[in-house]
Structure formats: structure tokens, C-alpha cells
């Protein structure tokens, strides 16, 4: 075992997969310069043929990544920040998500899109989005949002080896989070949620950066005699309905904490699944803790309260327990 941060875990995943498979390469804005800290050392080890800086032309290099994937390579396309996915939306929705279907399974799309989410940091309206809920509605894409160093490494490695396109939404609010991880090679299967804390009175399903906040709220609830089960969703598509429904069947109450905007969110989808398939297990209404349906301001005092916090999750839990 060794201790790494979330960022170091991502870096290890890239190093190991590029060393393991010569078809793996990375491309994107400033990847050779290690702009955000996850691509350090790659250019020195693997050279500029496999670590390619690109122009500021997301539609172009995402499309190039799609073409490379279709002819047998395993590209990792680094978007620098998640909102830049919007610029390449046509390539993602029309080509990357659909090609395996359109060609009757004759074409594979082993493409990984890294989408760092940098919010709560004064990046204002254009650069602070957490757009995984937008992309989860497109069939053909797998969507992950790891919330620990162990998962960041294991899920990114699994994504790179997957024959389907995967968008990895990496919460950079967790960049300094530290955890012991195995020295040996390991993968984390996509499509499986993780129960981070077992409980009997209340289920809290959390996404990305809301996971540590949910665990803090659960600790406070425990002091008040409330046993909260915390589920780290980590895989958005495929969605692990079974783990969520089994937990709600046990606890009878559900809070969903999701840093994305509330309308059309992952929290909304989970709430709909439980309302439709687990309604008779519920003892109280479902409560979502999300970001309001508004743009993100530059001002830190205005931005900070928008996202799920331990305090907001605690208040939601107290509401469903009342």
C-alpha cells in the first residue's frame, strides 16, 4: 500500500495504462505541461507522440480522438475543464455516443474523456459547471464521478480499458484528498455504487464532491442518535439502482446530495427511480440537496452556499426524520 492524493491517483492511472498498452495516448490542451497536476511526467516518459498538446479547438481534437478510437487506438482526451465539453457537444452526441449503434457493432469507441470539475473556486459562470447530468441523458455514454483516490485511479484505468466511450468527471475540490491504495494493479468496475457508511434510519446518496460532505453529516446525525447510510454513487451511467433501492428498503428515507443544478439532475433521476420502484418502502418524502437553478457567480460569498454542504445535508436529513 502507498498513500496518494486524488490528483496523484489520476496520474498513476495514466502512467500505468500508457505503460501497459502502447495504443493508449493522451491529448488535450496543455497536457504536456501538466497544467492541472494530473499529467506530470507523462511527456518525459512517453514522448510527444503519445502526449499531445492541442490547439484550443475542442470540437477538432475530440473528433480526432473519436477517429483514433475507431481505428484501434485507446485515446484519453483531456478537456482541461468540464464545461469545455460543450464546445465538442456535436462530436460527443452525434459521433462518439452513436457510432457503435449506427454501425451495428462493427465499430468500437474505446475513448475516455477526462472532464475536471473546478467549482467553488471563483471560476464564475462559464467555467464552474458540473455537466454530468447533461451527458447522462445521451445513450451510448458511460459516465463516472469518482470521489476518492482509490476510485479515481481504479475507475480511470477501467475506463481506458473499456470498449465504450466513458466521460470521467473528476471533482478537483477533492484534489488534495489522501488515501492508501494498493501497490498492485487494480480496477474498479463501472456501474457499481459503494456503501461508505452503513445505517438503518436514513439513506444519503451522494455524488462526487458531495460524498465527504454527506459523511460529515452522517457523523453529526450519529451523535443525535440517527443511523445514516451513505452511498457514494461514483458511477452515474450505468446507474446502480439495486444498491440504492436495497438501502431505501432498509431505511425508508432518502436524501440525495448532488453538486449539479437541481433541474434534470442526477438527484432528480435517483429520486424518480426510488419513487417509481421503491415507493412503498418510503416513510417520508425524498429530499434533494443540490445547486439552485442559477448561474454561478464570481463572488465567493455568493458562490459558496450554493453547493451541497454538510450543514445543508444535515438539515435535509433532519427534515425527513421529523
Instruction: Return the active site residues.
Output: 127
Q: Which three cell numbers stand for residue 12?
A: 498513476
The rounded radius of gyration (Å) of the Cα atoms in the chain is: 19
CA distance 175 to 219: 23
Q: Which three cell numbers stand for residue 234?
A: 461514483
Burial 49-65 (b: 16+ CB within 10 A, else e): ebbbbbeeebeebbbbb
Q: Which residue has the cell 449539479?
A: 260
CA distance 260 to 293: 9
DSSP-derived secondary structure for 205-267? EE-TTHHHHHHHHHHHHHHTT--EEEEE--EEETT-HHHHHHHHHHHS-EEEEEEEESTT-HH
Strand 228-232 to 194-197 pairing: antiparallel
Amino acid at each position: 500500500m502507498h498513500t496518494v492524493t486524488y490528483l496523484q491517483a489520476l496520474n498513476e492511472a495514466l502512467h500505468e495504462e500508457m505503460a501497459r498498452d502502447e495504443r493508449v495516448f493522451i491529448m488535450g490542451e496543455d497536457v504536456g505541461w501538466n497544467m492541472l497536476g494530473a499529467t506530470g511526467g507523462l511527456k518525459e516518459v512517453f514522448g510527444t507522440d503519445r502526449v499531445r498538446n492541442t490547439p484550443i479547438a475542442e470540437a477538432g481534437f475530440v473528433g480526432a480522438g473519436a477517429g483514433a478510437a475507431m481505428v484501434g487506438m485507446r485515446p484519453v482526451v483531456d478537456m482541461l475543464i468540464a464545461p469545455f465539453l460543450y464546445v465538442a457537444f456535436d462530436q460527443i452526441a452525434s459521433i462518439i455516443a452513436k457510432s457503435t449503434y449506427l454501425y451495428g457493432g462493427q465499430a468500437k469507441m474505446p475513448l475516455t474523456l477526462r472532464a475536471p470539475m473546478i467549482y467553488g473556486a471563483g471560476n464564475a459562470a462559464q467555467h464552474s459547471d458540473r455537466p454530468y447530468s447533461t451527458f447522462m441523458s445521451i445513450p451510448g455514454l458511460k459516465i463516472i464521478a469518482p470521489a476518492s483516490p482509490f476510485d479515481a485511479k481504479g475507475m480511470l484505468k477501467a475506463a481506458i480499458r473499456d470498449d465504450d466511450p466513458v466521460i470521467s468527471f473528476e471533482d478537483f475540490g477533492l484534489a488534495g484528498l489522501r488515501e492508501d491504495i494498493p501497490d498492485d494493479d487494480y480496477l474498479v468496475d463501472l456501474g457499481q455504487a459503494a456503501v461508505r457508511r452503513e445505517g438503518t434510519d436514513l439513506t444519503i446518496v451522494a455524488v462526487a464532491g458531495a460524498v465527504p460532505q454527506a459523511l460529515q453529516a452522517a457523523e453529526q446525525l450519529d451523535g443525535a442518535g440517527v443511523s445514516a447510510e451513505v452511498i457514494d454513487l461514483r458511477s452515474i451511467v450505468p446507474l446502480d439502482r439495486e444498491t440504492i433501492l436495497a438501502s431505501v428498503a432498509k431505511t425508508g428515507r432518502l436524501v440525495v446530495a448532488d453538486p449539479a443544478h437541481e433541474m434534470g439532475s442526477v438527484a432528480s433521476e435517483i429520486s424518480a427511480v426510488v419513487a417509481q420502484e421503491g415507493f412503498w418502502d418510503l416513510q417520508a418524502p425524498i429530499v434533494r440537496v443540490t445547486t439552485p437553478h442559477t448561474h454561478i457567480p464570481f463572488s465567493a460569498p455568493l458562490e459558496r452556499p450554493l453547493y451541497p454542504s454538510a450543514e445543508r445535508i444535515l438539515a435535509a436529513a433532519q427534515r425527513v426524520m421529523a
